[in-house]
Structure 1
Amino acid sequence: MASTLAPAKVNLFLHVGAPDASGYHPLCSLMTFADYGDVVTIAEAEAVDLVIDGPFAAELSSDDDNLVLRAARALIAEARRPVPVVGFRLEKRLPVASGLGGGSGDAGAALRLMRETLRLPIDDARLEAVAASLGADGAACLWARPTLAEGYGERLSPAPALPVLDAVLVNPGVAVSTPEVYRRLDASGAFGSVERPPMPEAIETPQEAAAWLSVLRNDLEAPAVAVAPAVGAVLETLRAEPETLLARVSGSGGTCFALCASDIEAEGLAERLEAMAPDWWVRRCRLGGPWA
């Protein structure tokens, strides 16, 4: 039996272009990962199966469409050899449909665990190809380290050198449909440039990171707020708090993040938010990784 963290993914910025003839949107995004997330465990089993527990277990199904099982079966096919039968346990600690890459992160964790525990002779490139086949965030979430994603999410390059960032994640408890967010974006026509923005070689402080990110954006933020106004309420609250250096939606919502100057500020902000809005999911974390 072995376990690993499937860290929450946070889009520090996310630029989305107009869809191509196939309906896919090009993008440019700086992704980083938190020291908090779901936990995936692998163990010998009689069949490839999945047990889900944790605070958000009721919102997920363990049927064949779950990304953990899809990842396992895809890797078995890629191995092209008999593979010992394993089962998985998923402790679902992240909200579902929350813009934190939970499903892709869980799949990535399952792939890493299988390759390591079963000693499969599959190199990084082949493992990454399997992860990419499972979704746009798949390859980035496999390694769970800061990365710049371009194209349709498949072109990955190292992120600028960033300090570890103290942050607070906040979700109002509303699942946000990614397809609906993209439909709103398409209807608005408010597409951004997906050319790589000027990148500093290194960012030394949280204040520098927030200042640089403030001139960038998340093009899915406005449609996410339109789909789920509660996300807008979270953003408005975060941006009014003194500890917040920058507040933004992650991915297609509905989780927002606030960057803070230090762990003391992040702790104070998280505690106050928990008292102000006890129905919100609030987690203090550190962004940067890799934590997996």
Structure 2
Amino acid sequence: MGSIRGRSITVRAPGKINVFFRVGALQQDGYHDVASLYQAVSLFEEVTAAPAADFSVRFTGPIDGSALPVDDRNLALAAAKLLAERTGYPGGAALTVFKRVPIAGGMGGGSADAAATLLACDELWGTGLGRHGLLPLAAELGADVPFALEGGTAVGTGRGDELSPALAKGSFHWVLVLSDAGLSTPRVYGTLDAHRERHAGALGPQPELVKVETAVLQAVRVGDADSLAEAMHNDLQVAALKLAPGLVDLLEQGESRGALAGIVSGSGPTLAFLVDSAEAAASLRGMFCREGHRAITVTGPVPGARVLEG
């Protein structure tokens, strides 16, 4: 199949919440072993790839992308170039990213852009790798990219890129409180390492290898929001709250106003509140919005990157 010269392809890919996140001890190579339960939620990035001689990327949508790089540091651009290089495709693509997932918000927006770009360019150019063939390229681009391609609910181990699907039943209702300022993931990890070192006496040695606890897997398997609320955990939360102390009040506020539990998503600063119904979600979102915060309701799990029929 040759390249599709005339038309553009649009793919949407979901942001994610880390429902559970454990970070192992800092290793010699500067990395940590992590264990995460990812859930893809109904907040989507859309990438449109159009035929072009060269590579370019631009941003539209409700999230301001004007400060994002438009060179090879951009994950979507890197994804398009990697696919072209591996398949020997001689042309390029003009990418337009419609952003809804907050930037540096701990929800994997950049990873969703990369996953959507891989699928859109594969379709546009007729390179024929398909979702399965794109997964190894996704893993090269970043730990969260394979998950954005697959979606659903999954356990991530190693550096987060070794994925295995988790059985999940039903749908969970979330209220996300978005922050105008992002948090740098390396800075959050650095703060966690410093915190652990400072409190080594009380905390004891950290395990090298970590895993997702059975209680979390059981809660998503049966679709029980109350059990999931009890089992949710994020090792990075202590560091995110240190760097953005205003989040502490927001967490307490949400939990005192109807949320079953609240958590910092990934490296933050996005907060995810689990509630037990669509009505409770709408009510909590309304409360946050009245107080001047940006809040949205989402559900999960949702599928990974999908071509939109236009």
Q: CA deviation at 1:172?
A: 2.8
Counterpart position of 2:40: 33
> What is the DSSP-based 3-state SS (H/G/I as helix, E as strand, rest coil) of the residue aligned with 2:66?
helix
CA distance in 1, matches of 2:21, 2:45: 23
For residue 290 of structure 1, what is the amino acid of its counterpart?
Answer: P
CA deviation after TM superposition for structure 1 residue 202, in Å: 5.9
Tell me, yes or no, if the aligned pair for 2:229 and 2:274 is still in contact at 8 Å.
Answer: no
The residue that corresponds to 1:258 in the other structure is 273
Distance 1:83 1:162, change over 3 A: farther
Aligned partner (choices 25, 48, 55) of residue 18 of structure 1 = 25
- Out of 202, 210, 214, which is 1:194 matched to? 210
Q: Answer yes or no: is the 8 Å Cα contact 1:3–1:40 preserved in 2.
A: yes
Aligned 1:143-222 pairs, distance under 5 A: 143-189=150-196, 191=206, 194-198=210-214, 199-200=217-218, 203-205=221-223, 208-222=224-238
Contact 2:166 2:221 in 1 (8 A): no
1:64 partnered with 2:80: no
Letter in 1 for 2:289: E
What whole-Å deviation, never above 9, does each CA across 1:165-207 have from its counterpart, x for those lacking one?
11111123221111111111111226466134223286444xx
Unpaired runs of 5+ residues, structure 1, are: none
Report the Cα distance in structure 1 between the residues aligned to 2:77 and 2:29, rounded to whole angstroms.
27
> Is the Cα–Cα contact under 8 Å of residues 171 and 231 in structure 1 kept in the other structure?
no
Q: Distance in 2 between matches of 1:22 and 1:82?
A: 35
- CA deviations on 1:259-282 (whole Å, 9 max, x unpaired) are 111111111111121011x2x221
Contact 1:36 1:285 in 2 (8 A): yes
Pick from 276, 282, 286: which aligns with 2:299? 286
Give the distance between the partners of 1:26 and 1:231, measured in 2 at CA: 26
Q: Deviations over 1:61-114 (max 9, x none)?
A: 2222110000011111111x3344321101122221100001111000101111
Aligned partner of residue 142 in structure 2, secondary structure? coil
Matched residue of 2:54: which SS? coil
Deviation, 1:119, is: 2.2
- Return the letter of the residue paired with 1:288: P
Q: Matches of 1:59 and 1:290 in 2, distance apart?
A: 29
> Contact conserved, 2:18 with 2:38, CA < 8 A, in 1?
yes
Q: TM-score, normalised by structure 2?
A: 0.86
**CA deviation profile, 1:9-48 (whole Å, cap 9, x unmatched):** 1101101101211011111111011111222111112321
Within 1, Cα distance between the matches of 2:130 and 2:219? 29
What's the RMSD between the two structures over aligned residues? 1.9
- Return 99-108 or 83-92, whichever deviates more: 83-92
Total equivalences in the alignment: 286
**Residue identity (%):** 31
**8 Å CA contact 1:52, 1:62 repeated in 2:** no
Corresponding residue for residue 7 of structure 1: 14
Per the alignment, residue 248 of structure 1 pairs with 263
Q: 1:161 to 1:145 in 2, by over 3 A?
A: closer
**Matches for 1:68-83 after TM superposition, within 5 Å:** 68-79=76-87, 81-83=88-90
Q: Indicate the SS of the match to 1:57.
A: coil
Where structure 2 has 5 or more consecutive residues not aligned to the other structure, the ranges are 1-7, 197-202, 306-310
State the Cα distance separating 1:124 from its structure 2 match: 4.2
1:172, 1:234 within 8 Å by CA — same for their partners in 2? no
Q: Is 1:134 matched with 2:158? A: no
